[in-house]
Amino acid sequence: MSLVYKSEPVRGTAWAARFARALPDLPFHVWPETGDPAAVRYLAAWQPPEDLATRFPALEVLFSVGAGVDQFDLRALPPALRVVRMIEPGLEAGMAEYVTLSVLALHRGLPLYLERQRQCLWQPEKPVPAAQRRVGVLGLGVLGRAVLERLRGFGFPLSGWSRGRHDLPGIVCHAGLEELPAFLAGADILVCLLPLTVETRGLLGRHSLAALPRGAGLVNVGRGPHLVAGDLLAALDSGHISAAILDVCDPEPPPPDHPFWGHPRIWMTPHIASTTSHEAGADALIANILRHRRGSRCRARWNAAGATDGLGLRLWPPPSARTLRALTRFDGACCRLQGAPLIHLLSGIGLRTDLANRRQLKAGSGDIPCPQRWGFRGQAEPPPGPDAGVTPECQASIRVSPSTEMACPEIVAPRWLQRNRI
C-alpha cells in the first residue's frame, strides 16, 4: 500500500517529511516516481495522470490538493474511485480574508480612487453606508458560508444563492435558476464562489451582469470560466459594472495581451485567495487516510450533485448534464446489495409526492420501488395525469443487479436514475 503525490514539488517534499513522521508504514512517492504501480492505493493530485485504471489498478481514493474537484475529468475516472477534496481551516480563513478585503475595497471605491490617483485627480465621492450596500454570494458551500459569516460584522445586508435550498440565520437565501434574477437584482457587490460545472460555466455573462444594479461591483474567486471576459469589459465600459476584482482567469495565466492586465477598473491576483499551508494540507490528508483505513467515510467526499456533505454518491454510467440539473440535491441513497434492504430514496429530486418527504421504503432483496414512467423534466416533477397521485409503492420495481456500479462499498448508484432521464 502506497501513496503517490502529483503536484507542486516543493509541497511534495514537505508532505513527504510529514508523512514519514505520521505514517511511516505508508510509502510516499513524489511524481514521476511511483514505486510499484500495483501497490498504489492513494493519489493526491491537482491533475491526475491519464488512464488511471490501467496505471494504478488498485487505486482506491483520489485526493484533490485543492478545495475543488472541477479540474478533474470526472467522466474519465474509474467508476468505483472515491474522490475527496481538500478541506482545512486555512482555506476557509484565507478565502474569508480575501473576499472581505475585496468587498471593502469595492464598497469604499478604492479602484476608482486609484484610477484618479494615476490621473492626479483629487475628487472625493459621497460614501455609502454599509447598511445600504447589499452583498450577494453565489455559492453557499463551506467557503461561501465562511465568507458570509466574516462579512456579517460590517453591517452589510447579505444574501446568498445556491442550487439547493439553504436556511442561514441573517442571510436572505435564494435557490434555483428561477430565483437567480431576484438574487442578482439585490446584489450591489456580487461574489462568485461557485464550483465550475456545465451549468455554471459562463454564468457571469451578459445577462447576469445586466441583472445586477447599475454600478455594481464584482468579485470572482470561483473559477475563470465562470466569467465571460468580453461581457465584463462591455459592462465596465458602459458603467453598468463599476469595478471587478478577479483572483481567477481563463486561461491562467492570461496572455500578455489580455485586456484585463491594463484595465484601470480590474484588479487581478494570481489565484492566491485561498491556499493551503504545507503542514495543514498534509495533516488533513493524513487524517482522511486514517479514516479510510478504519473504514470510515473521508471528509469532503464529492458526489454527482457537487455536494460534499452527503454520502459520496456518484452515478455510473455518468449522467448527462440535463440529468444533473434535475438532481438538485442528494440527501442520500443508503443501500447495500447485501444486508439491510432499507433504502433512503433521494429527497432532492423534486418529485412532489411522498418521495419528497424522504420516506424510508422497504425494498427487500435489493428491489427499489421507483416511478415506472417518470423521467427528468426540468426539476423532475411528475407529469400530470392519473399517476401524479400514486405513491411510489404502487409503481413497478427495478432490481439492483450485482453488476450495478458502486462508488464505494456501502453506496449504490441505481441505474434507474440514469435510465429514466429524458
List the catalytic residues. 223, 271
Helix (H) or strand (E) holding 117: helix 110-118
How many other CB atoms sit within 10 Å of the CB of residue 156?
Answer: 22
- Residue-by-residue DSSP string for 263-318: -TTEEE--S-SS---HHHHHHHHHHHHHHHHHTPPPTTB--TTS-SSS-----SSP
**CA Rg value for the chain:** 24
- Closest of 106, 110, 98, 55 to residue 77, by C-alpha: 55
Chain mean position to CA 207 = 22
Helix, strand and coil in the chain, % to nearest 5: 30, 20, 50
Rounded to an integer, what distance in angstroms lies between the CA atom of residue 384 and that of residue 390? 11
Instruction: Tell me the helices (H) and strands (E) count for the chain, helix number first.
Output: 11, 18
Burial class of residue 258 in the structure, from the number of CB atoms within 10 Å of its CB (0-12 exposed, 13-18 middle, 19+ buried): middle
